[in-house]
Structure 1
Amino acid sequence: MSTTDSPGGRAGTDWLAHAVLLLGVVLFALPLWIVLMGSSHDAATIGRGEVPLLPGPHAAENYAAAWGRGPTGVPVARMLWNSTVMALCVAVGKIAISILSAYAVVFFRLPGRNLVFWSIFLTLMLPVEVRIFPTFKVVSDLGLVNTYAGLIIPIIASATATLLFRQFFLTIPDEFVEAAKMDGAGPLRFFRDVVLPLSRTNMAALFVILFVYGWNQYLWPLLVATSEDVETVVIGMVKMIGSESNTDWSLVMTTCVLALLPPVLVVLLMQRWFVKGLTETEK
């Protein structure tokens, strides 16, 4: 029997795996802990270069100041609302467009449907930076700058989600389609009564991923959101950081903590569905 099969060998392997895992957690969590603790200290403490590892006495006033007026004069509450609207609309819109596109490609016998799908898939080869200025020109000509529509519509399509839904739909047995036809179900009824229920976990997993994607958008909102009315929290945090002497780091860290809460809450609330959508296929 090899050493890895013996109890001692397994214990050694488990200890090493847990040690590596613990190191990764520390490396990932320590910066977040410093930001959380820094949000409870005053600006002078952070300005002196101190790294706070314990809570300070100024948490309430820092969070009240950031929520009410913000370091740049724009309330963080307003920026969080803008980011939430953008992330929700991007996630829901991407799922709706992608699932309908994949449904049409898989279940409709249209000429050139594979060509259409691969045309969609090839857009993955183009980074956002390649098409960002033509996209901005179109948005500007349509008068959508500084609007929610301008923030959301240009990034609402997703070739990745279309690919994932297509691959899942290909696993649906043909018997389901034939049974639906025998029952007199049309395409819309088959989509509503069969495809959507089977796709629930996939949609939940994609929703988490796409919500975080929409929440973390930086380059596109930087171009489109030039006024405070539609400014997202990611753009707001960048604007808060000026010169070293003029930056209120305690309020910046407070804003960072507030910006973390919505995506973390979405992940926690949908964790079970997220894991199930990545590991299982409902049939």
Structure 2
Amino acid sequence: MPAKAAPPGSGGTDWVAHAILILAVILFVLPIWIVLMGSTHDAATIGRGEVPLLPGRHALENYRAAWERGGAGVPAGRMLWNSTVMALSIAIGKIAISILSAYAVVFFRFPFRRLAFWSIFITLMLPVEVRIFPTFKVVSDLGLVNTYGGLIIPIIASATATLLFRQFFLTIPDEFVEAAKMDGAGPLRFFRDVVLPLSRTNIAALFVVLFVYGWNQYLWPLLVATSDEVETIVIGMVKMIGSEASTEWNIVMATCVLALLPPVLVVVLMQRWFVKGLTETEK
């Protein structure tokens, strides 16, 4: 009986692909592993310049110290709460504003509709870093410095999310709109009963991206959060690193591990929806 032919793509190229994949995993995972292991050792071990690759015996006390007092006097628990409030508000706010603005641009006919869309789209060239001084001036004049509102409101709109929702809404068949009109559905009912259910996977995918975006914000919270009350975990980790002699590296590493948990949890819990929202073409 003749031997079966090898499937396409198998053979010599497989080990190259696997070798590259393994190397990439090592490059990404090794720093995280070192931080995780370092958070379980005492300050003296890290202070000697050792790179621990095995767990130590001080994990519980290090994480308790990070949670209760932090390395710069601000408990990691409070900073995690501030970052969670900021990231959730930014993600939910961006999605709400973007989906409503995209819905208006696509399904409503009003003067200067195209100009309104391009006015939103052109703000892609003006990120917070470019307009940071006038934005801070407005926030300061409104008395929003050192408040949750000052952290969230200036970066809550998203031209990217508006563009993505608009492109998806353009794929919704006109027959759906006509059927809704024949059933007597108004704009709000059509949005609630038709558009929102069709957009679930897109919303889930954008939520993951926008949550991580909000969680990793550094420059804007550095300007607006002038006290410990609204300090985020990203800012807190930087402030914990002082002079080489005074830095408690074991507490810093424990705080870094705690800072990784919320975004990792969001990605893991919403992984299926995230992949589906990026790859699904038939709604």
TM-score range, shorter chain: over 0.9
Q: In the superposition, relative to structure 1, how do residues 176 and 7 fare at CA in structure 2: closer, same or farther (>3 Å)?
A: closer
Q: Is residue 2:132 matched to residue 1:138?
A: no
**How far did residue 9 of structure 1 move?**
6.2
Residue 215 (structure 2) aligns with: 215
Residue 37 (structure 1) aligns with: 37
Which amino acid is the alignment partner of residue 132 of structure 1?
I
Residue 185 (structure 1) aligns with: 185
3-state SS of 2:104 partner: helix
Q: Distance in 2 between matches of 1:31 and 1:210?
A: 25
**How far did residue 16 of structure 1 move?**
1.0
Q: Is residue 2:95 matched to residue 1:95?
A: yes
Q: Is the 8 A contact 1:199 1:282 kept in 2?
A: no
Q: How many residues align?
A: 279
Residue 106 (structure 2) aligns with: 106
Residue 163 (structure 2) aligns with: 163
Q: Is residue 2:138 matched to residue 1:175?
A: no
Q: In the superposition, relative to structure 1, how do residues 8 and 154 fare at CA in structure 2: closer, same or farther (>3 Å)?
A: closer
Deviations 1:27-83 (A, max 9, x none): 000000000000001111111110010001110100010011111111100000000
Q: Distance in 1 between matches of 2:7 and 2:128?
A: 52
Q: Distance in 2 between matches of 1:163 and 1:49?
A: 49
TM-align CA RMSD: 1.2
**How far did residue 128 of structure 1 move?**
2.1
Q: Is the 8 A contact 2:33 2:53 kept in 1?
A: yes
Deviations 1:84-105 (A, max 9, x none): 0000000000000000000000
Which amino acid is the alignment partner of residue 128 of structure 2?
V
Residue 242 (structure 2) aligns with: 242
Q: Distance in 2 between matches of 1:45 and 1:31?
A: 17
**How far did residue 112 of structure 1 move?**
1.2
For structure 2, list consecutive stretches of 5 or more residues without a partner in the other structure: none
Residue 10 (structure 2) aligns with: 10
Q: Is the 8 A contact 1:105 1:117 kept in 2?
A: yes
**How far did residue 140 of structure 1 move?**
0.5
Residue 51 (structure 1) aligns with: 51
Residue 21 (structure 2) aligns with: 21
Residue 271 (structure 2) aligns with: 271
Q: Distance in 1 between matches of 2:108 and 2:46?
A: 61
Which amino acid is the alignment partner of residue 227 of structure 2?
S
Q: Is residue 2:154 matched to residue 1:154?
A: yes
**How far did residue 6 of structure 1 move?**
4.4
Q: Is the 8 A contact 1:198 1:282 kept in 2?
A: no
3-state SS of 1:128 partner: coil
Q: Is the 8 A contact 2:128 2:155 kept in 1?
A: no
Q: Distance in 1 between matches of 2:9 and 2:240?
A: 53
Q: Distance in 2 between matches of 1:90 and 1:235?
A: 17
**How far did residue 13 of structure 1 move?**
1.5
Q: Is the 8 A contact 1:146 1:230 kept in 2?
A: yes
Question: What does 1:118-129 align with in structure 2 at a 5 Å threshold?
Answer: 118-129=118-129
Which amino acid is the alignment partner of residue 107 of structure 1?
F
Amino-acid identity (%):
85
Q: Is residue 2:199 matched to residue 1:199?
A: yes
Q: In the superposition, relative to structure 1, how do residues 239 and 167 fare at CA in structure 2: closer, same or farther (>3 Å)?
A: same
Q: Distance in 2 between matches of 1:7 and 1:28?
A: 31
Which amino acid is the alignment partner of residue 188 of structure 1?
L
Farther-moved stretch of structure 1 (248-257 vs 109-118): 109-118
**How far did residue 110 of structure 1 move?**
1.2
Q: Distance in 2 between matches of 1:9 and 1:191?
A: 46
Q: Distance in 1 between matches of 2:89 and 2:142?
A: 20
